[in-house]
Amino acid sequence: MDIKRLRIPLPKVFSRPAHTLFYITQSTTFRVDFDRKGDVLGEIHPIEIACKSSNTLPNTLEQLLADDQPKVGRKVWLLYNRLPTYLLSLPSVQVEGVEPEVLEQALQFEYEGMTGHSAGKSFLSHHYIGTADDMANYWITLVAQETLAKIKAILHKKRCQYGGLCHAGGLPVLISGADVPSWFRIEHWPGSVFMLAKTPELGLTLQILHTKQNPDWQLEVDQWIMEIGEVDKSETLIGDQMEYMAHTDENYKLSSDGALVFWLSLWAKHLATADDLQVPLLNPQKRLNKDIVYMVAGGVSAALLCGAHFSVNWYFKQDFEFKTQELSQLESESGNLSKTIATLRDKVDALNKDVSLMEKNVDQIPAALSALQNRPLALLDALARYSPDDLVIEQISPEHDTILITGYALKPYLVNQLTTNIEPSISALGWKLEPATKKAMGLFEDDGPWQFSFALLDQGLEGFINATHSTQP
């Protein structure tokens, strides 16, 4: 593709483009204006405005939107090459069919366990990559809620629509533009290496290595290339200084004007035209109030159920009256039929009892099984929500029909506080909370910290149903 064709002068009739993309680095920012079809308008120029961390993105954006800068597009997109991004894996059985809110909480819990950083005040966005070895893989990015709120407020003040914020890595298309069945690309970014591949067997896959936490990342790159095998096209994208580069068919250095313009034009086309961006875009969407939805749906269902019951009852009433008259006539004609009628009535009573029992099972057992499937995530949610700051849960171990939870606390009363707070949630899930044991380790003057453990005894499906009934008003 001819790079010069990407530098189309902006028509004077239009004073404002449809889209503006800011590619932000730790030293320079690049601005791209493009139309609704993703075609770049004008030239791509560097702006001497830097951003050292994601927390300073609002200040950087204010400078980019200053009055002395050209007017930006109606929708603004942000690419930042230092945005925190990770690849997380969860057991596919536990996340199958769960609500988005529960999935986000599980991903936050997994992120905190992997990094040791709290995600409580951050907004997390995720994109499902695929399932391998019974583990569901999710690509996540996150940013502080305060930072995201400031970005949206700044754009709203400038009468711009917020398109989204995402990491600059992971563009899910081949840079060379070749239409080939299989390809892979290795991307070098500050502190991380992205490895993308697309094959007919696996579709689009992704791996992310954090170089500071993984000193053997070069060996993992070589191993990944061997596992991918022979492909039709291979690429390397260099967005930062690097100490190692695998051999590939094409190399693109973003320090080169031509490669940078070409790469940003592909991002513009993808953001403007793709039905599924296939990246974890930080752009929270408003969800419907589920309480209202459930209330309306419940009202409609109740009305339909009442109507159905009325129709069935009316039908059976009419049928019963007709059969009673018929039986009375038959009894008057022959007394021998009385025993047969009594037998039929006994069968009707038995069938009514069976129907009543089946209705209870239909209402209870499937709901209980569905809730049992989500119990591990609900347990993690309760522990994450009610764990005090000076208490650490070290291990959660399933043993037969018991789950053993162990950890450490700076104060002994924190253990009692945790068990007291989670007990209602645990009981509602069909577990019996056994008393906690605490052991002073004697490392501090007050004999602390304390090692603790407590068990959750599984009451089984029957116990779960009974617990559900006891929690209902």
Question: Which residues touch 333 (CB under 8 Å, ≥6 apart)?
Answer: none
Task: Give pLDDT, residue 292.
Answer: 41
The sheet carrying 85-91 orders its strands as 85-91, 135-144, 122-132
Give CA–CA dist 427/412, Å, rounded.
23
Question: Which residues touch 161 (CB under 8 Å, ≥6 apart)?
Answer: 74, 75, 76, 155
Task: Give pLDDT, residue 38.
Answer: 95
Task: Give pLDDT, residue 242.
Answer: 72
What would the DSSP string read from start to end of 143-193?
EEHHHHHHHHHHHHHTT-EEEEEEES---SS-TT----S-EEEEEEETTEE
Give CA–CA dist 111/86, Å, rounded.
8
Query: Which CATH number is 1-287 given?
Result: 3.30.420.250
Mean pLDDT by 10 residues, the chain (473 residues): 42 72 95 96 91 95 92 96 95 89 92 88 94 93 96 95 96 90 95 94 94 91 94 93 82 90 95 94 64 46 54 66 71 68 81 68 59 79 89 89 92 91 87 91 88 89 60 51
Domain at 375-471, CATH homologous superfamily: General secretion pathway protein M, EpsM (3.30.1360.100)
CB count within 10 Å of CB 99 equals: 11
**pTM exceeding 0.95:** no
CB 64 within 8 A of CB 22: yes
Task: Give pLDDT, residue 245.
Answer: 80
CB 441 within 8 A of CB 448: yes
